[in-house]
Amino acid sequence: MAALSILELVRVTEETDARGALDNARDLAAHAEEWGYKRIWVAEHHNMIGIASAATSVVLAHLAAGTKTIRVGAGGIMLPNHSPYVIAEQFGTLARLFPDRIDLGLGRAPGTDQMTLRALRRSPESADQFPQDVLELQAFLAPAGPNQRIQAVPAAGTEVPLWILGSSNFGAMLAGELGLPYAFASHFAPELLLQALQIYRTRFKPSEQLSRPYAMVGVNVIAAETDAEARRLATTQQMSFTNMFRGTRGLSQPPIDDIETYWSPIEKAQAQQMLARSIIGSPETVRAGLERLVEETGADELMIVSDVYDHRARLRSFEMIAEAGRDIAGSAAGDISLQRKA
């Protein structure tokens, strides 16, 4: 069976401020733990008033403190924005506080606009150093050598599991070459999904962290009692994508009855292209959609995004998705911690 996990967007809505969004994320994590989700991740975004996860490591501490067993991680940290040494310190500290529960997914996109990138005191050219930065970070998380003069305290020796995130073939190649698990962002960039997975599996070289390929596929899933209600709930995400195209990012908006009144034909086409692999509907529809996706991709794990406006409706969506997922046959890859190379 393919494992199910959650990518939590920490959405600030028209009715919920940033504190409310953070507390809702913690509440979701607690419920997800009960429902059997494997992990919950949050992503680094800057200068977006509708997303409250910019200080990603702090948000992860908030979620981990409200749970006991579910893995908590970054999906991801945009490494070009940071010194690998500082990220090692942050995630090493999390690993000391919450042993064997912290994941560190790494991306090379800025997660923001160019002006904000300058405010972060980072250069766009920093992305060119991404492979070297990943190796540097990995070294700081490894046990310190006897003559190592610079250590990331208290990170040394925590060996926080690293993931490579991607929406193109670059990340697939890098993850394969480094022998790391790979997560593809098909929840917003589905075009290259199958090609990227093939490249990753073909290029994979066993490493100390991972003995064989392990692929996670991101997917938007919205479940409700009926297909019609799920489609209505999905208009919140459709409006968010439309606003992104318009350059008017804002707070998450409540669903509407007719999305056709909101977007233009061009905006509709753009949104549908990015959301092409979304699974929206009743529990039966969701179960069938998840099963098709696992069969098509051979995914070891699905990272679920359920961008629903109302918190209670969102909890119910994730609960129904978990129930549907229990019946899905997958690759049964097991836990990454059990795949370490001997």
Please tell me the predicted confidence (pLDDT) of residue 112.
74
Q: Which two tokens stand for residue 174?
A: 């890098």
pLDDT, tens only, 284-313: 999 999 999 999 999 999 999 999 999 999
Cα gap 282→165, rounded to integer Å = 30
Cα gap 216→200, rounded to integer Å = 11
**Residue 244 pLDDT > 60, yes or no?**
yes
Q: Which two tokens stand for residue 246?
A: 């318009």
Give the pLDDT band of residue 5 (cuts 50, 70, 90): very high
The neighbour count for residue 251, using CB atoms within 10 Å, is 17
Give the pLDDT band of residue 338 (cuts 50, 70, 90): very low
Task: Report pTM.
Answer: 0.93
Give the pLDDT band of residue 1 (cuts 50, 70, 90): low
3-state secondary structure at position 85? helix
Tell me which DSSP letter residue 309 carries.
Answer: S
Single out the residue of 188, 173, 178, 201 nearest to residue 297, CA to CA: 201
The neighbour count for residue 278, using CB atoms within 10 Å, is 22
Please tell me the predicted confidence (pLDDT) of residue 333.
44
Q: Are 138 and 155 in contact (CB under 8 A)?
A: no
3-state secondary structure at position 154? coil
Single out the residue of 18, 23, 11, 3 nearest to residue 63, CA to CA: 23
Preceding amide of 283 cis, omega within 30:
no
**Residue 336 pLDDT > 90, yes or no?**
no
Give the pLDDT band of residue 335 (cuts 50, 70, 90): low
pLDDT, tens only, 107-140: 998 767 778 878 887 776 777 899 999 999 999 9
* Chain centroid offset of residue 108 CA: 14
Give the pLDDT band of residue 332 (cuts 50, 70, 90): very low
